[in-house]
């Protein structure tokens, strides 16, 4: 009997998977469409709300939707820094005191139901968002109420914004970095009754090239179909290409699952993975590539940078610029960038990524200043801390590894960085009153062991690697470093209330246009919050706990200037010099992303050889990368 | 009436009290956390924006009002119970204004389906195999099963799950990587069979460990029973071994097994976070995880409420059915 029972159980265990396996084709795509019509892309998070395309409400999903479905007036390409006309056909036209903005609109753009887009849609969109506090997307309601007096139609294809106060950057609300105010179809939305914040838009009419047609109720995937007239969408007009017939987004989750999906031919592009999973992709998917075909592979020009940031009130010693400089000079950037980051990101000494366009505004013109910069090591000894050859040293390392560097060291790895000079660092610490004990470990002026608390979130791969590099190097220099890998929320909360000494946030001072003010305004000392107090309710960003009035003066000086004027850039460069002299934080590397695609089914994605548009397809301006695709066959 | 007054009613009152206290504590805990849903949403909505601080403060006021967080903690508590008694768990903050009822409704059936099935299968398998191995400890297959189980049982679940994922989606790409089914819900064979297909790997990963645990428990219980006098007597009386095992030994080991089953079924409403993350499977575990990270109070409350009710009800049911299962359990 027992044998029979065991046999029966074994048969059941074998039969069930066989039965299921026979019933199902072993492939994991959730929709059954020919691959030559279907482009599959990595959905950057799992949606909590599915099938509601009211993107203006609180909680509306923006990534992918805004690239595929939505339009605004202007796009700023993060790769080239170029201004791309979306629904506008003119630059923002301000009056002399920046209280009035005129815009000419594109003719011949149709909504997906065939109705023409006109100035009426712009006026309706702006007035509706302004009048509806429940539409909180991207803070547009609050911003419009702060700056806009009225908006009026000056023609079927032109509008005028009358501002309530002078603002040379009002048009930023309609110019994408991540997104810009999404236009509403007046003929649809004006018929909606009741609360627009609670309105569920399940059958969207779009200005973009794609219409959502199916979605997983659990938020794992979403299917879009190209509209019947792609030539009447903005992306269709600009690129002259129709784009794939269907686009499917899938949330796969972690890096290893994305690499597996690509190896199975079930993912055409992913937005990022860790370097190990990327290497797996190269091994398992011969047709896959990233920005460069070979080393250093990754896309290096997303407009942001990584810092080792000091809490000036966290450890009294960190309030001393000499100590901050000593910490910078005891870091070996060549080793950090190669051994810890794998050589795949650009270095930068300033919080501006060295993209082709931003380098021309900041890194190149400031190089001479960096080379000539001097700091006082004590006893009147002046010292030049900048090493302009760091990118060349990284290139030499790469060649030693057998890699070919696809450009000049500056183009591929950025400009210079701070010298690795423990002797100079030692002089600075001695100047600050610290001493070494018999084992060479640093003691505070009070004679206590100097312990540095360094916090970093392990889920942010590069930030955590930078933290590990810094921890190792500062330990070698004789500092007792306590590195904590904290869960994201705890880490965030500690920064908000100043409960840290050194942390690894990311920031950029520059937008792709080169403008600083929008990114640095929140660091104005008027938003200072002491340690223990959450800085967010004050409205600014006081994570460094800086009270320096000079920082506020620079920010005030930028505020009224034309954002893309040389006058503004000059103030920005002076601000960078001041910030650097004070070493308010140590900027290390620029952002990089292993945005990787498989050319098995689709080709035409932007590359280093053909950088026509930015590959950041999850941004609203990322639409052009998809629009350019053509099937391999 | 005596049974109702002295046995059933106190237990029902206890059930109500446990739920009330559990829900009240769950109301309080996320509000004491430093993570604030309004700040969290502002961070999300403006993560790539450069927003004027004045505008940001205006947005803060709007969101506080929309989320119903502008009253005192007591006001919120009273309003929460008012909504709850009407069956309304309120809106999700992160997916505003989507009702929490809808969000939980979308995920709970996957969780119940996966964990309920896996629990039942592993319970039956574990008891049957464990009892067989305990009653026939010297047979070769029993020793083989025991050694296999002892090898599997100590391996942490996330390793088992990840190995299965790598094995059956990468090296042998036989199963899907993500989702609960192909296409959108429909009463068709294609959809129903795809539910089985997509759920097979995650379910197997759970069944492996759970069966091993129940195998060990059943074997230990059976070994004890097998050495009892009544079993010896039955064997001497030439009662067939099948009958001794099924009608006497297993039946006498069922009390703790039923408790285990009831409590296991009661806990499934909390979801299976690791399974959902590793296999990309839908369910409430991942929803709860995200809600905790973003301080989405209403979702945390909704899922925790389900868990509390599930476990309290399972305990109540076990208490109620004990006397029927085992005549040795007497009132008081």
Q: Is B69 on the interface with A (CB under 8 A)?
A: no
With an 8 Å Cβ cutoff, are B179 and A221 in contact? yes
Helix H or strand E encompassing A579: helix A566-582
Q: What top-level class would CATH report for the domain B109-280?
A: mainly alpha
With an 8 Å Cβ cutoff, are B51 and A133 in contact? no
Residue A194 CA to residue B97 CA, distance in Å, equals 14
A309 has which bridge partners? Answer: A503, A585
Residue B320 CA to residue B322 CA, distance in Å, equals 6
Residues 6+ apart with CB under 8 A from A104: A88, A89, A90, A93, A157, A158
Answer whether A543's CB lies under 8 Å from A527's CB.
no
Q: Is A131 on the interface with B (CB under 8 A)?
A: no
With an 8 Å Cβ cutoff, are B197 and A136 in contact? no
CB atoms inside a 10 Å sphere around CB A12:
11
Would you say residue B95 has pLDDT above 90?
A: no
Q: What confidence tens digit (pLDDT) does each residue in A260-280 have?
A: 999 999 999 999 999 999 999
Q: How far is A364 from chain B (nearest CA, A)?
A: 26
Answer whether A44's CB lies under 8 Å from A51's CB.
no
With an 8 Å Cβ cutoff, are B52 and A260 in contact? no
More confident site: B193 or A24: B193
pLDDT attached to residue B48:
65
Q: Reading across the β-sheet that carries A100-104, which strands appear in turn?
A: A93-94, A100-104, A158-163, A148-155
Q: Is B109 on the interface with A (CB under 8 A)?
A: no
Q: Is B282 on the interface with A (CB under 8 A)?
A: yes
pLDDT attached to residue A21:
52
For chain A, report the end-to-end CA distance as a whole number of angstroms. Answer: 60
Q: Is B68 on the interface with A (CB under 8 A)?
A: no
- DSSP letters, A82-143, are -EEESSBSS--EE-TTS-EEEEEB-SS-B-TTSPBP-HHHHHHHHHHHHH-TT--GGGHHHH
Q: What confidence tens digit (pLDDT) does each residue in A440-467 have?
A: 999 999 999 999 999 999 989 999 999 9
Contacts of A220 in chain B (CB under 8 A): 178-179, 280, 282
A310 has which bridge partners? Answer: A502
With an 8 Å Cβ cutoff, are B177 and A143 in contact? no
pLDDT attached to residue B33:
79
Interface of A with B in 251-280 (CB under 8 A): 251-254, 257, 260-261, 263-264, 266
What distance separates the 2 farthest-apart alpha carbons in chain A?
96
With an 8 Å Cβ cutoff, are B97 and A21 in contact? no
Find, among A451, A418, A441, A450, the residue nearest to A336 by Cα.
A418
pLDDT attached to residue A313:
95
Find, among A599, A510, A592, A600, the residue nearest to A271 by Cα.
A592
Answer whether A493's CB lies under 8 Å from B34's CB.
yes
Q: What confidence tens digit (pLDDT) does each residue in A43-53 have?
A: 999 998 899 99
Answer whether B281's CB lies under 8 Å from B180's CB.
yes
Instruction: Give which of A56, A539, A555 to mutate to test B binding, by max B Cβ within 10 Å.
Output: A539
Q: Is A146 on the interface with B (CB under 8 A)?
A: yes
pLDDT attached to residue A438:
93
Residues 6+ apart with CB under 8 A from A17: B200
Q: Is B274 on the interface with A (CB under 8 A)?
A: no
A503 has which bridge partners? Answer: A309, A455
pLDDT attached to residue A26:
47
Q: Is A42 on the interface with B (CB under 8 A)?
A: no
Q: What confidence tens digit (pLDDT) does each residue in A85-112 have?
A: 999 999 999 999 999 999 999 999 999 9
Instruction: Please tell me which of the candidates B50, B92, B280 has its beta carbon nearest to residue A518.
Output: B50
Contacts of A23 in chain B (CB under 8 A): 193, 196-197
Q: What confidence tens digit (pLDDT) does each residue in A194-204 have?
A: 899 989 999 99
Contacts of B66 in chain A (CB under 8 A): 58, 134, 136, 197
Residue B41 CA to residue B58 CA, distance in Å, equals 14
Q: How far is B319 from chain A (nearest CA, A)?
A: 32
A62-189 matches A305-511+583-590 in fold: no
Residue given tokens 């960085």 in the structure block: A417
Answer whether A44's CB lies under 8 Å from A254's CB.
no
With an 8 Å Cβ cutoff, are B35 and A489 in contact? yes
Mean pLDDT of chain B: 88
pLDDT attached to residue A12:
60
Would you say residue B83 has pLDDT above 50?
A: yes
The model carries a pTM of 0.89
DSSP strand pairing (A630-631 vs A602-603): antiparallel
Mean pLDDT of chain A: 93
Would you say residue A537 has pLDDT above 90?
A: no
Would you say residue B49 has pLDDT above 70?
A: no
Q: Which residue of B has its CA nearest to A620?
A: B48
Helix H or strand E encompassing A249: strand A246-250
SS3 per residue for B139-161: CHHHHHHHHHHHHHCCCCHHHHH
As a CATH number, domain A305-511+583-590 is: 3.10.105.10
Would you say residue B243 has pLDDT above 70?
A: yes
Q: How confident is the model at residue B185 (pLDDT cuts 50, 70, 90)?
A: confident
Q: How far is A30 from chain B (nearest CA, A)?
A: 4
Q: How far is B63 from chain A (nearest CA, A)?
A: 8
Q: Is B140 on the interface with A (CB under 8 A)?
A: no
Residue B159 CA to residue B174 CA, distance in Å, equals 19
Contacts of A202 in chain B (CB under 8 A): none
- Each domain of chain B, given as residue ranges in start order, spans 109-280
Tell me the count of A-B CB pairs closer than 8 A: 197
Find, among A178, A189, A119, the residue nearest to A154 by Cα.
A119
With an 8 Å Cβ cutoff, are B57 and A537 in contact? yes
Would you say residue A3 has pLDDT above 60?
A: no
Residue B321 CA to residue B332 CA, distance in Å, equals 14
pLDDT attached to residue A124:
98
With an 8 Å Cβ cutoff, are B282 and A527 in contact? no
With an 8 Å Cβ cutoff, are A52 and B98 in contact? yes
Residues 6+ apart with CB under 8 A from B31: B73, B76, B297
More confident site: B131 or B270: B131
With an 8 Å Cβ cutoff, are B196 and A141 in contact? no
| Per-residue CA distances from A281 to A28, A256, A286, B217, B223 (Å) | 18, 9, 8, 44, 52
Residue B208 CA to residue A591 CA, distance in Å, equals 42
Instruction: Give which of B47, B182, B207 to mutate to test A binding, by max A Cβ within 10 Å.
Output: B182
Q: What confidence tens digit (pLDDT) does each residue in A372-385 have?
A: 999 999 989 999 99
With an 8 Å Cβ cutoff, are B55 and A260 in contact? no
Tell me which of A139-148, B59-68, B252-261, B319-328 is least confident: B319-328
Instruction: Please tell me which of the candidates A16, A198, A253 has its beta carbon nearest to residue B280.
Output: A253
Answer whether A103's CB lies under 8 Å from A92's CB.
yes
Q: Is B175 on the interface with A (CB under 8 A)?
A: yes
ipTM of the complex: 0.84
Q: What confidence tens digit (pLDDT) does each residue in A348-369 have?
A: 999 999 999 999 999 999 999 9
pLDDT attached to residue B295:
83
Q: What confidence tens digit (pLDDT) does each residue in A393-424 have?
A: 999 999 999 999 999 999 999 999 999 999 99
| Per-residue CA distances from A7 to A291, A297, B211 (Å) | 55, 54, 18
More confident site: B36 or B21: B21
- Residue B264 token pair: 């296991």
DSSP strand pairing (A305-310 vs A502-503): antiparallel
| Per-residue CA distances from A626 to A155, A245, A616 (Å) | 33, 11, 10
Cis, peptide link before residue B79, omega less than 30° from 0 = no
Residue B277 in 3-state DSSP? helix
pLDDT attached to residue A79:
83
CB atoms inside a 10 Å sphere around CB A338:
19
Choices 3.30.160.20, 3.40.50.2300, 3.90.76.10, 3.40.630.30: CATH for A62-189: 3.90.76.10
- Each domain of chain A, given as residue ranges in start order, spans 62-189, 305-511+583-590
Residue B111 CA to residue B134 CA, distance in Å, equals 32
Q: How far is B301 from chain A (nearest CA, A)?
A: 17
Interface of B with A in 201-240 (CB under 8 A): none
Find, among A462, A442, A551, the residue nearest to A504 by Cα.
A462
Q: Is B279 on the interface with A (CB under 8 A)?
A: no
Residue A247 CA to residue A209 CA, distance in Å, equals 11
Average pLDDT over residues B292-314: 89
pLDDT attached to residue A489:
83
Residue B146 CA to residue A397 CA, distance in Å, equals 55
Answer whether A627's CB lies under 8 Å from A235's CB.
yes
Q: How far is A222 from chain B (nearest CA, A)?
A: 10
pLDDT attached to residue A5:
56
Q: What confidence tens digit (pLDDT) does each residue in A296-346 have?
A: 999 999 999 999 999 999 999 999 999 999 999 999 999 999 999 999 999
Residues 6+ apart with CB under 8 A from A592: A298, A299, A300, A302, A344, A345, A346, A462
Residues 6+ apart with CB under 8 A from A615: A79, A291, A299, A595, A605, A606, A622, A625
Find, among A391, A571, A588, the residue nearest to A470 by Cα.
A588
Q: Which residue of B has its CA nearest to A219?
A: B282
More confident site: B68 or A88: A88
Residue A355 CA to residue B298 CA, distance in Å, equals 44
Contacts of A489 in chain B (CB under 8 A): 35, 293
With an 8 Å Cβ cutoff, are A142 and B51 in contact? yes
pLDDT attached to residue B60:
86
Q: Is A57 on the interface with B (CB under 8 A)?
A: yes
Alpha-carbon dihedral sign for residues B103, A57, A623, A509: negative
Would you say residue B113 has pLDDT above 70?
A: yes
Would you say residue A220 has pLDDT above 70?
A: yes
pLDDT attached to residue A11:
58
A226 has which bridge partners? Answer: A210
With an 8 Å Cβ cutoff, are B287 and A48 in contact? yes
Contacts of A2 in chain B (CB under 8 A): 132, 136, 139
What percentage of chain A has pLDDT greater than the value 90?
86
- DSSP symbol at A632: -
Helix H or strand E encompassing A41: strand A38-42
């Amino acid at each position: 009997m027992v044998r029979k029972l065991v046999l029966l159980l074994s048969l059941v265990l074998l039969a069930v998977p066989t039965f299921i396996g026979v019933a199902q084709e072993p492939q994991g795509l959730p929709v059954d469409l020919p691959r030559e019509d279907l482009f599959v892309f990595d959905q950057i998070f799992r949606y909590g709300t599915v099938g509601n395309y009211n993107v203006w409400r609180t909680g509306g999903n923006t990534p992918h939707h805004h690239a595929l479905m939505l339009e605004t007036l202007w796009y700023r390409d993060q790769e080239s820094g170029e201004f791309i006309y979306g629904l506008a056909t003119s630059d923002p036209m301000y009056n002399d005191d920046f209280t009035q903005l005129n815009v000419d609109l594109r003719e011949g753009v149709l909504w997906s139901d065939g109705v023409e887009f006109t100035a009426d849609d712009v006026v309706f969109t702006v007035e509706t968002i302004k009048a509806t506090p429940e539409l909180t997307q991207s803070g547009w309601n609050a911003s419009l109420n702060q700056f806009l007096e009225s908006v009026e139609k000056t023609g079927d294809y032109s509008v005028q914004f009358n501002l309530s106060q002078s603002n040379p950057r009002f048009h930023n609300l309609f110019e994408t970095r991540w997104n810009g105010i999404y236009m509403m179809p007046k003929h649809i939305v004006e018929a909606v009754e009741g609360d627009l914040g609670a309105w569920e838009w399940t059958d969207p009419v779009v200005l973009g090239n794609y219409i959502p047609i199916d979605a997983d109720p659990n938020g794992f995937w979403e299917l879009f179909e190209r509209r019947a007239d792609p030539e009447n969408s903005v992306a269709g007009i600009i690129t002259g290409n129709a784009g794939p017939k269907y686009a499917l987004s899938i949330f796969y989750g972690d890096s290893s699952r994305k690499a597996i999906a690509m190896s199975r031919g079930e993912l055409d592009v992913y937005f990022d993975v860790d370097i190990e999973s990327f290497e797996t992709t190269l091994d398992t998917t011969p047709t896959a590539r990233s920005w460069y075909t070979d080393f250093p592979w990754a896309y290096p020009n997303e407009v942001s940078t990584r810092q080792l940031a000091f809490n000036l009130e966290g450890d009294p010693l960190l309030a001393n610029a000499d100590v901050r400089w000593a910490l910078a000079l005891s870091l070996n950037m060549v080793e950090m960038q190669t051994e810890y980051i794998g050589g795949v990101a650009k270095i930068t000494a300033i919080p501006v990524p060295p993209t082709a366009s931003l380098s021309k505004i900041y890194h190149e013109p400031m190089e001479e200043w960096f080379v000539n910069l001097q700091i006082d090591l004590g006893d009147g000894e002046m010292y030049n801390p900048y090493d302009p050859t760091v990118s060349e040293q990284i290139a030499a390392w790469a060649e030693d590894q057998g890699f070919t560097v696809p450009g000049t060291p500056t183009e591929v790895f950025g400009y210079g960085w701070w010298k690795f000079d423990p002797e100079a660092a030692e002089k600075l610490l001695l100047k600050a009153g610290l001493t070494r004990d018999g084992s060479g470990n640093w003691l505070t002026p009070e004679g206590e062991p100097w312990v540095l608390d360094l916090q970093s979130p392990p889920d942010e791969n590069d930030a955590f690697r930078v933290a590990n590099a810094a921890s190792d190097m500062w330990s070698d220099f004789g500092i007792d470093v306590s590195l904590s890998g904290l869960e994201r929320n705890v880490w965030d909360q500690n920064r908000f209330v100043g409960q840290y000494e050194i942390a690894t946030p990311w920031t950029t001072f520059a937008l792709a246009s080169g403008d600083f003010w929008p990114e640095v305004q929140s660091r104005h000392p008027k938003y200072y919050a002491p340690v223990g107090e959450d800085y967010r309710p004050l409205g600014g960003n006081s994570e460094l706990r800086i009270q320096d009035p000079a920082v506020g003066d620079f920010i005030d000086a930028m505020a009224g200037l034309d954002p893309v004027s040389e006058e503004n850039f000059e103030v920005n460069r002076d601000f960078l010099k001041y910030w650097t002299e004070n070493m308010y934080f140590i900027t290390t590397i620029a952002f990089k992303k292993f945005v990787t695609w498989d050319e098995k089914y689709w080709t035409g994605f932007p590359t280093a050889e053909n950088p026509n548009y930015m590959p950041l397809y999850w941004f609203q301006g990322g639409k052009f990368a998809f629009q350019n695709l053509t099937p391999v066959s | 009436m005596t049974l109702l007054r002295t046995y059933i009613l106190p237990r029902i009152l206890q059930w109500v009290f446990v739920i009330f206290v559990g829900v009240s504590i769950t109301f309080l805990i996320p509000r004491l956390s430093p993570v604030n849903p309004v700040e969290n949403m502002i961070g999300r909505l403006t993560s790539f924006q450069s927003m004027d601080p004045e505008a940001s403060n205006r947005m803060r006021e709007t969101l506080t009002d929309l989320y119903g967080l502008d009253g005192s903690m007591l006001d919120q508590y009273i309003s929460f119970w008012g909504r709850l008694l009407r069956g309304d768990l309120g809106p999700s903050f992160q997916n505003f204004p989507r009702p929490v009822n809808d969000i939980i409704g979308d995920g709970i059936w996957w969780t119940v389906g996966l964990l309920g099935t896996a629990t039942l299968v592993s319970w039956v398998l574990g008891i049957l195999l464990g009892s067989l191995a305990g009653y026939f400890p010297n047979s070769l297959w029993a020793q083989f099963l025991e050694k296999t189980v002892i090898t599997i049982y100590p391996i942490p679940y996330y390793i088992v799950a990840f190995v299965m994922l790598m094995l059956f989606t990468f090296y042998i790409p036989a199963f899907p990587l993500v989702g609960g089914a192909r296409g959108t819900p429909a009463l068709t064979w294609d959809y129903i069979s795809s539910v089985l297909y997509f759920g097979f790997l995650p379910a197997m990963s759970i069944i492996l460990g759970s069966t091993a645990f129940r195998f060990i428990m059943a074997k230990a219980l059976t070994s004890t029973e097998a050495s009892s006098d009544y079993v010896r007597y039955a064997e001497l009386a030439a009662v067939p071994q099948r009958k001794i095992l099924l009608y006497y030994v297993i039946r006498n080991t069922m009390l703790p097994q039923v408790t285990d089953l009831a409590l296991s079924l009661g806990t499934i409403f909390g979801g299976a976070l690791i399974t959902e993350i590793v296999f990309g499977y839908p369910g409430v575990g991942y929803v709860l995880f995200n809600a905790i990270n973003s301080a989405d109070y209403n979702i945390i409350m909704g899922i925790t409420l389900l868990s509390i009710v599930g476990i309290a009800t399972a305990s109540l049911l076990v208490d109620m059915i004990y006397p029927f299962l085992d005549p040795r359990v007497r009132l008081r």
